[in-house]
Amino acid sequence: MRIVISGYGKMGKEIEKVALERGHTISTTIDTDKDWESEQSAIINSDVVIDFSQPDTAVQNIKRCFNINKSVVVGTTGWYDELEKIENICLVKNQSLFVASNFSIGVNILFEMNKRLAAIMNSHPEYDVMIEETHHVHKKDAPSGTAITLGNQIIKNLARKSDISGAFVEKPYELMIKSFRIDEVPGTHIVNYSSEIDELELRHVAKSRRGFAVGAIMAAEWIIGKKGFFEMSDMLGF
């Protein structure tokens, strides 16, 4: 498989490493608008684009891929206010888009557990719930896309929560998400249910970026030959 990496930072380099280990070829790497122009031939002759760029460039990069009928796998977060619009464009134009707030297999198992636990907690109003996420100081968006996904799942499955707040909660229906940026932490997410008598936590700790890279490459392998809008739950069969 011939892969274009859009966003050649630490994550992009980890994706390159994993891709080569799995026998794939890196057609080119892209970091700027100029690169999209100068590397156009390499992009057109590739099989898939993997985008781990920046929130302010992700949407444009996706549209660029659609314009040349190129499958695209997107791990960039912080642009999801436009996700519904991009999904509609993908379907109308019969393109191939795979989006994940987190490509870690473990995190996506956490997502499934999170939905189930939230539904169970409908019968236990004595527990309040909050989310805590910690990442490296280079991460641009806060809360993380993963934390927002966890929060939206809780809101969908737990009747007493209907809105996401920041670090402070003023109303009982608000779900608190605390964000921390510390050193080079790859990513930690905690869902905490607390009552007067005990606490229950779902916790995922990434030990390195490799887990995200492996998941992204698996997604790129999986999307080849498919048309439509896809997420990790589609690939994993949840």
pLDDT for the residue numbered 98: 98
The answer to whether the CB of 73 falls within 8 A of the CB of 1 is no
Backbone angles phi, psi at 199, to 5 degrees: -130, 150
pTM: 0.83
CA distance 72 to 90: 11
pLDDT for the residue numbered 103: 94
Q: Which domains does the chain have, with CATH numbers?
A: 2-103+210-236 (3.40.50.720), 105-205 (3.30.360.10)
Catalytic residues: 135, 139
Residue whose tokens read 């050649």: 8
CA distance 215 to 33: 26
CA distance 215 to 19: 11
Distance of CA 20 to the CA centre of its chain: 22
End-to-end CA distance of the chain: 26
Residue whose tokens read 């996700």: 83
pLDDT for the residue numbered 101: 87
The answer to whether the CB of 150 falls within 8 A of the CB of 131 is yes
Backbone angles phi, psi at 221, to 5 degrees: -65, -40
Q: SS3 for the chain, per residue?
A: CEEEEECCCHHHHHHHHHHHHCCCEEEEEECCHHHHHHCHHHHHCCCEEEECCCHHHHHHHHHHHHHCCCEEEECCCCCHHHHHHHHHHHHHCCCEEEECCCCCHHHHHHHHHHHHHHHHHHHCCCCEEEEEEEECCCCCCCCCHHHHHHHHHHHHHCCCCCEEECCCCCCCCEEEEEEEECCCCCCEEEEEEECCCCEEEEEEECCCCHHHHHHHHHHHHHHCCCCEEECHHHHHCC
- What is the residue-level pLDDT of the chain in tens, covering all 238 positions? 999 999 999 999 999 999 999 999 999 999 999 999 999 999 999 999 999 999 999 999 999 999 999 999 999 988 999 999 999 999 999 999 999 988 999 999 999 999 999 999 999 999 999 999 999 998 888 899 899 999 999 999 999 999 998 777 779 999 999 999 999 999 999 999 999 999 999 999 999 989 999 999 999 999 999 999 999 999 999 8
